[in-house]
Amino acid sequence: MKLSPIYLSMLCALSALQSVSAEEINETDNQNQPSNLEVIEVKGRYIEGYNAHSASGASRLDLAIVDIPQSVSVITSAQLQDFQLNDINSALDSATGINVERIETDRTYYTARGFDVTNFQIDGVGLPLTNGNNHADEDTAIYDRIEVIRGANGLMTGVGNPSATINFIRKRPTAQSNLNLRASYGSWDNKRIEADGTYIINDTFAARAVAVKQTKDSYLDRYETDKTIMYAFLEANLGDNTSLSISHSYINNDAKGNNWGALPLFYTDGSPTNYDRSTNTSADWSNWQVVKNNTVAELSHYFNNDWHLRATYSHRTTDEDTELFYVYGTPDKETELGLTGYGSEYDLDDEHDLVDVYLNGDFELFGRDHQLVVGVNYAKVSYIDTSLYDYTTGNGFPAMPDLNTWDGNTPKPTFADGLSGSDVEATQKAAYFTGRFNLFEGFHLIAGGRFNDWQVDGEAYGNDQTVEDAEFIPYVGAVYNIIPELSAYASYTETFTSQTEKDINNNILKPVTGESSEIGLKSELFDGRLITTVAYFNVIQTNLATLDPDTAELPPTEQRYYGADGIESKGFELDVAGEVYPGLNVSLGYTDFDISTSDETNQVANYTPEKLFKLGTTYEIPFLEGLTIGANMRWQDDIFRYQEPTKTVVTTQDAYAIVDLMARYEFNENIELSVNAKNITDEKYLTSLYWAQGFYGAPTNYSATLSWKL
């Protein structure tokens, strides 16, 4: 693995900072330590496991999880490290209620409760994904934890689907200077090196930096990735009550041999295909490079012990350059012929500017203490993407050989034809407020709302995207503390999504509304070391654009729509996280729900697993000091997809479980070795039936990681 000069410089800088810090601390300690100092030794164990007590993504109140009237779970830093969850896809695989739809190697959708998850935030600030999906292998190294707020999150987002909000909490400087180095090697020549350090410069300034370099091949033919991560966070305490921070992250993911689309799943006679797991539809020249930059400035001020002001500005850019190869058609079972290739060049420039300012604090009314948050939010996103094809040289749409023996060799097209694309700008202006009222002993009411003014201008592949909506999104929730260890809660909130379709009177349809209601119980057991949530939810999508059958035979520009009920899902979830026994940490989630749609084929319900079980657990072996073992498992029930409207061809994926194992040995306080084994049963499974194509998940694979703490 070749390290670039900038990456080597970052590693050297981190090491140098740590060395200087250690020398300064030692000299200061030696000079100031009295000779007759009484030493008190305290022995105990600091619990850093799977139990996160608070989450800020559901509101600006930074409440304890048991005080939030919604289903909330947190993927902690301990989980991320234990099972080497180095990318957000593998991390969200372990989250209760989240289904990761890997439709391609470098494009992923996420669903919860039957709806696409589109709201991804960083430290509580963000907009829905531009295309509803995530591109590239995004790393988790710069994040301290990941909060998952299931259901609609009307207060903090307002726009999007009533599925879930994923809130990534970034790493910040720690209380003391330190440096952590990790190096790992795994199957398919997977090499990764990571450095993470904090340096306390003085009483005013502190800095944290993270650097990652990873290169790996794949079980898929021709697929390989090269990933570089750089992150720096500088914090300044301007006074006892005021702090200012500025940070920047740089992510460069360069993939080669990536697929666009995936394998055909049935033959011309309707029988299922069964390719080797390594079979890939990519050409040997296919590539997809994604570069993401994010700069964040944050000002925090405490007016007194009761009121706090926070202002955040974020500027994010995404630059994608791709050359892609798609394979379509239906092969013959005897000859394996009948498929056609399809080349395209796709480029994207995406830019986000986000401003969020809020004030929160405590106040007294009628002899009781209450909390209040008021804030404003401004967001602007603009993106330009272009697609080019080859209609003239004969290389743009080649006849394909047998995929079982194809080596990816096909002439590279000349991408100069059929220019099309998008030029869209969207603006959101919002104001929000939340009050948490202590109405009587043990009972809190959370009520508030968000006013969103949403404007979109532009065109996408010939379709007008211009729309303007203004909506008020209400939120109400209540929590009652039955006994100190048990609380009951209920909540209702909404989200909305703009539509561009027109009705029979040529008026643009009103937004799709997602209504989410939930009731549940939460408990804190074993002195707060274990948190359990049981929830029942009901989510309804209304006013979804549905084609007017009287206009079905007209050209697309003349077709008209009406608003109808969309997806409805209802079911329950169980979430357990924490330490159930000294040294035994558990993260457990079970989801069981039913989906109904107005679509006659009920396709969403078919390809969405309605039962999900997630379990992550580690145990510190008491009779072998320093040894920790663990297992991580996810199970889903069977899914299927009708491949034709006639329902004569059906692709089925039976229920399956993926089991991972880990073992870690701490040689001393500074050095530890971890070994991870993934998919130990070598399960062969399709990663998704979200589309009519699919590919297989990774077979059994292994990695070893050496960690060094300074």
How open is the CA angle 9-10-12, to the nearest 5 degrees? 65
For residue 550, give the 3-state DSSP assignment: helix
Residue 669 forms part of a structural domain:
yes
Predicted local distance difference test score (pLDDT) of residue 119: 87
CB 86 within 8 A of CB 70: no
Give whichever of 134-138, 444-448, 697-701 has the largest mean pLDDT. 697-701
For residue 583, give the 3-state DSSP assignment: coil
CA 242 – CA 303 distance, rounded (Å): 9
For residue 196, give the 3-state DSSP assignment: strand
Predicted local distance difference test score (pLDDT) of residue 156: 63
* Least confident range of 85-89, 115-119, 126-130, 415-419: 126-130
The stretch 679-703 carries a mean pLDDT of 97
CA 22 – CA 20 distance, rounded (Å): 6
Residues, the chain: 710
Give the list of residues 6+ apart from residue 363 with CB closer than 8 angstroms, or none.
Answer: 306, 369, 370, 371, 372
Predicted local distance difference test score (pLDDT) of residue 56: 66
Pairing state between β 584-596 and 639-642 = unpaired
Residue 39 forms part of a structural domain:
no
CA 250 – CA 318 distance, rounded (Å): 10
Question: Could you tell me which of 644, 547, 638, 554 has the C-alpha nearest to residue 598?
Answer: 547
The stretch 639-648 carries a mean pLDDT of 86
pLDDT by residue (tens digit) across 27-83? Answer: 444 444 444 434 433 333 334 578 877 776 556 777 889 999 999 999 999 999 999
* Least confident range of 2-6, 307-311, 595-599: 2-6
CB 674 within 8 A of CB 705: yes
CA 8 – CA 380 distance, rounded (Å): 36
CA distances 382 to 107, 351, 424, 464, 497, Å, are 20, 5, 6, 15, 17
* Least confident range of 125-134, 416-425, 610-619, 654-663: 125-134
The stretch 567-581 carries a mean pLDDT of 94
Phi, psi angles (nearest 5°) of residue 46? -85, 125
Instruction: Provide the 10 A C-beta neighbour count for residue 25.
Output: 13
Detail the DSSP E strand segments found in 201-241: 205-216, 224-237
CA 110 – CA 256 distance, rounded (Å): 23
Q: What is the mean pLDDT of the chain?
A: 89
Model confidence at 154, pLDDT cuts 50, 70, 90, reads low
Question: In total, how many domains does the chain have?
Answer: 1
Between 238 and 644, residue with greater pLDDT:
238
CA 694 – CA 89 distance, rounded (Å): 17
Predicted local distance difference test score (pLDDT) of residue 627: 97
Residue 191 forms part of a structural domain:
yes
For residue 79, give the 3-state DSSP assignment: helix
Question: Could you tell me which of 561, 568, 588, 569 has the C-alpha nearest to residue 577?
Answer: 588
Between 340 and 563, residue with greater pLDDT:
340
* Least confident range of 216-225, 426-435, 634-643: 426-435
Between 396 and 646, residue with greater pLDDT:
396
pLDDT by residue (tens digit) across 6-29? Answer: 344 444 444 444 443 444 434 444
Amino acid at 25: I
CA 324 – CA 319 distance, rounded (Å): 16
- Each residue of 111-128: b (16+ CB within 10 Å) or e? bbbbbbbbbbbbbbbbbb
Predicted local distance difference test score (pLDDT) of residue 26: 42
> Residue 102's beta-bridge partner residues?
108
Percent of the chain surpassing pLDDT 90 = 70
* Least confident range of 130-134, 176-180, 433-437, 560-564: 130-134
For residue 222, give its domain range. 5-34+46-709
Predicted local distance difference test score (pLDDT) of residue 548: 83
Residue 41 forms part of a structural domain:
no
Residue 40 forms part of a structural domain:
no
Copy the structure tokens of residue 545.
């654009």
Does the pLDDT of residue 528 top 90, yes or no?
Answer: no
First CA to last CA across the chain, in angstroms?
Answer: 24
* Least confident range of 116-120, 495-499, 640-644: 495-499
CB 174 within 8 A of CB 208: yes
Q: Alpha-carbon Rg of the chain, whole angstroms?
A: 26
User: In this structure, what is the dihedral angle of CA atoms 43, 48, 54, 60, given to the nearest 10 degrees?
Assistant: 110
CB 238 within 8 A of CB 205: no
Q: What CATH number should be reported for the domain holding residue 395?
A: 2.40.170.20
How open is the CA angle 586-587-590, to the nearest 5 degrees? 130
Phi, psi angles (nearest 5°) of residue 11? -60, -45
pLDDT by residue (tens digit) across 133-144? Answer: 888 888 999 999
Question: In sequence order, which ranges of 519-577 are alpha helices (DSSP H)?
Answer: none
Predicted local distance difference test score (pLDDT) of residue 118: 87
